Amino acid sequence: MKRVVVLGSTGSIGKQALEVCRLRGYEVVGLAAGKNLEALSRQIALWKPHLVAAEESLHAELKARFPGLRLATAEEVAALEAEVAVAAIPGLAGLAPTRMAVRTGKRVALANKEAMVAAGPLLWQEAEAHGAEILPVDSEHSALFQALLGERREDVAELILTASGGPFLREPEDLAQVTPEMALRHPRWRMGPKVTVDSATLFNKGLEVLEAKELFRFPLERVKVLIHPQAYVHGLVRFVDGSLKAQLGPTDMRLFIQYALTYPERAETPLKDLPIPGVLEFLEPDLKRFPALAVAYEAGRRGGLAQVAVSAADEVAVEAFLQGKIPFPRIPEILARVLEATPAEPLTWESLFAVDAWAREEAKRWA
């Protein structure tokens, strides 16, 4: 029986990962969560994990509900003996447990894009030293991973990520009039506020470009974006002879989570007979309308700490927008200003966290 630890178990990806574990009959030996007491309690009662990590404010109540419960840090949960760790703690908070899962030689089903954006080269060094695997869970990166299987790297011309275009693909003409309420009305998906706003600015796709660059270790100029409003084609690989290979299917994260857990095998799901859209559109992104995507590319060209800085600055800028402190177009302006001031220093585990803290303060200054 495959043993799994789920880091970020009460978030959307974590919950769906546990559903996949239930369908596949896997043993969940560890859970790491935040402060959602009721969701975590239900998971503990169902899975009876060996170790649980949660915010310290929940410890007393968890001990009262589950007297024999062993509480630990997220890193200790990540270090448990298991075949797979689902890494779904968002932001740099998820980096340390993700690193621990890699250092203990597990397969890491990676759903935390910030970890790869900020520390991709460092994580690959750890993976190669400890025999770990890193497999993507994001639908776009899973699509590219699947399309690249069996292909020679030298035959690949470019990797193509698709983006739905978010709520402001065509209107309003003046994005300065966008309110937080408008930005949070995504036409296709319900997501957390930060990811939803990032989808509206296309910075989320910029982060995915940086993740693809680090995850697949291809040059940035060979990672492209196409707007695909139907969101049925998740990623394409174009080869040097002009042919294309794509992964298509419903945008149900259980498909991509399951593939990361079962690879190289495929298991049946209830989703296999869903209808195929009759029309599929592909458009070039408008970088004047969505300058945040251009900022992400520039950060990728600079590499290293620049990617750390824009990711951290975006969290501050998005929060300022949601609080009504800045207009929508100010978000990419803040990212550009922070990027321009980012120090050109080598990427290390120490410099990574130092620049993350600096970028947040710098972004607050501009916000």
Binding residues: 10-13, 34-36, 112-114, 138-140, 164, 186, 192, 199, 204-205, 208
User: Are the C-beta atoms of 280 and 228 separated by less than 8 Å?
Assistant: yes
DSSP state, 268? -
Rounded distance, CA 26 to CA 43, Å?
14
Cα dist from 202 to 64, 165, 209, 229, 247, whole Å: 45, 7, 11, 13, 21
For residues 91 and 204, give the distance between their C-alpha atoms in angstroms, rounded to a whole number.
Answer: 13
Rounded CA-CA distance 142/261 in Å is: 12
Q: Which of 151, 117, 136, 146 is nearest to 235 (CA)?
A: 146
The encoded tokens of residue 326 equal: 């800045």
How far apart are the C-alpha atoms of 139 and 97, rounded to whole Å? Answer: 22
DSSP strands (E only) in the chain: 3-7, 27-32, 51-53, 84-87, 107-110, 133-136, 156-163, 223-227, 233-239, 244-248
d(CA 125, CA 200): 34
User: Residue-wise over 67-98: b if at least 16 C-beta within 10 A, else e?
Assistant: eebebbebbbbbbbebbbbbbbbbbbebbbbb
Using the Cα atoms of residue 289, residue 293, residue 297 and residue 302 in order, give the sign of their dihedral: positive
Q: Around Cβ 309, how many Cβ atoms within 10 Å?
A: 27
Show binding-site residues for 1-deoxy-D-xylulose 5-phosphate. Answer: 113, 139-140, 164, 186, 199, 204-205, 208
Nearest to 54 by CA among 68, 29, 35, 76: 35
Cβ proximity of 72 and 51 under 8 Å: yes
What SS3 state is found at 120?
A: helix
Residue numbers in the known binding site for Mn(2+) are 138, 140, 208
